Amino acid sequence: MSLPRIAVDAMGGDEGVRVMISGAALARRRHEQFKFLLVGDQARIERALESHPNMREASEILHCEDVVGGDERPTQALRRAKTTSMGLAINAVKRGDAGAAVSAGNTGALMAMSKLALRTMPGIDRPALAALMPTLGENDVIMLDLGANTECDARNLVQFSIMGAAYARIVTGREAPRVRLLNIGTEEIKGTDRLQDAAQMLRAAHGLSLSFEGFVEADKINRGDVDVVVTDGFSGNIALKAIEGSARFVTDLLKDAFRSSLRSKIGFLISRPATELLRHHLDPNNHNGAVFLGLNGVVVKSHGSATAGGVANAVAVAARLLEESLTERITADLAELGEERLRENGMVGAGK
């Protein structure tokens, strides 16, 4: 299957052109069918490409010197959407010059530009940022929203559930992914009115391609017994940062412990295969690539500090979503339910 090419914002992220191009090149070594539109300063991109001859025949450069700053407000970035590497990468998707866009730049600006250029699909009020997170089970868990919407109502949470389940069917292969709402307890009486209303709507709905299993607490997110965890962007971002911080804390603690004495160093050598497996499992680069669900196009956000390996994984996420037609799956799920039934249950908006 021939995939549409992927637009890469080569100027975004903490490390800039070198790491973004190296990541795209690594992705292509793993998947030779990948092709790219590299957006950014042509001279810098060409210098980076000198180290990656495998990219020459698979890439086109769209020259652009302007870049969205890491601390730039979304409203400011929107004014420069037609001149920045991020904006041009997204507009390439809008025009059909690329099937997906990947950027490690400013998340707020990426969200604002993507929504303005691509619009939300019919039946979705707001896009949501979704990412894969490691678990103790066989599959990763999808969590959304991770920061695109600080405030959400019950209808938004239901829409996020539908979109997250469509993504989970690709990742897990389950026909009815297990969906839970993030809450302070699992009892049905716990939580805000918004959570209670969303839960009631999901329990009452018929025809959804998901299995709603109530609530989940934050300490159970990574246990492996849920496929999709749904929350508002404010809570989701806090939960994500707490999980990432805890992972770094554990790995740093282990490093200090193994360096504390000769006996500990010997113990490290003996247990090295296990500790390397743990490090690999907890490394965010191995789970890099959050996607904005609900747009008329695929946009993937890479960690700003991602390594080349992390960028390669973000590119692979974009390619897989194109290959598996995620946007079309979400549209089909909404259509199968029927607009009239969705509106009767207050579950859907008009899209814009």
Alpha helices in 259-325 (DSSP H): 262-282, 308-323
φ/ψ of 265, rounded to 5, equals: -65, -40
Output the average pLDDT for the chain. 87
pLDDT by residue (tens digit) across 93-136? 999 999 999 999 999 999 999 999 999 998 899 999 999 988 88
Q: DSSP assignment, residue 29?
A: H
Is the pLDDT assigned to residue 347 strictly greater than 60? no
Residue whose pair of structure tokens reads 């009115």 in the numeric block? 193
Between the two ends of the chain, the Cα-to-Cα distance in Å is 31
Q: What percent of the chain has pLDDT over 70?
A: 89
* Residue 333: cis peptide before it, omega within 30 degrees of 0: no
Query: Of all helices (H) and strands (E), which one includes residue 215?
Result: strand 211-216
pLDDT at 350: 47
Residue ranges of domains in the chain, CATH in brackets: 1-123+294-323 (3.40.718.10), 128-288 (3.40.718.10)
pLDDT at 137: 81
CA 58 to chain CA centroid, nearest Å? 25
Structure tokens given for 82:
């037609």
Is the pLDDT assigned to residue 25 strictly greater than 90? yes
Q: State mean pLDDT over 234-256.
A: 80
Q: Is 291 helix (H, G, I), strand (E, B) or coil?
A: strand
Query: Of all helices (H) and strands (E), which one includes residue 9?
Result: strand 6-9
When mean pLDDT is compared across 168-172, 200-204, 245-249, the lowest value belongs to: 245-249
When mean pLDDT is compared across 11-20, 143-152, 219-228, 256-265, the lowest value belongs to: 256-265
Alpha helices in the chain (DSSP H): 17-30, 42-49, 74-79, 85-95, 107-118, 154-172, 193-204, 233-258, 262-282, 308-323, 326-337, 339-344
> Which of the residue ranges 31-35, 52-56, 70-74, 102-106 has the most confident prediction, judged by mean pLDDT?
102-106
DSSP state letters, 99-151:
SEEEE-S-HHHHHHHHHHHH-BPTT-SS-EEEEEE--SSSS-EEEE-SSS-SS
pLDDT by residue (tens digit) across 134-167? 888 888 899 998 988 888 999 999 999 999 999 9
Q: Is 89 helix (H, G, I), strand (E, B) or coil?
A: helix
pLDDT at 251: 72
pLDDT at 346: 55
Burial pattern 60-91, b for ≥16 Cβ within 10 A else e, equals ebbebeebbeeebebeebbebbeebbbbbbbb
Q: State mean pLDDT over 195-223.
A: 90
> Which of the residue ranges 20-29, 49-58, 274-283, 327-336 has the most confident prediction, judged by mean pLDDT?
20-29
How many CB atoms are located within 10 Å of the residue 338 CB? 12
pLDDT at 95: 95
Is the pLDDT assigned to residue 272 strictly greater than 70? no
| Whole-number Å distance between alpha carbons of 166 and 124 | 14
Q: Is 174 helix (H, G, I), strand (E, B) or coil?
A: coil
| Whole-number Å distance between alpha carbons of 315 and 5 | 11
pLDDT at 253: 75
Asked whether the CA dihedral 155, 158, 164, 170 is positive or negative, the reply is negative
| Whole-number Å distance between alpha carbons of 305 and 313 | 13
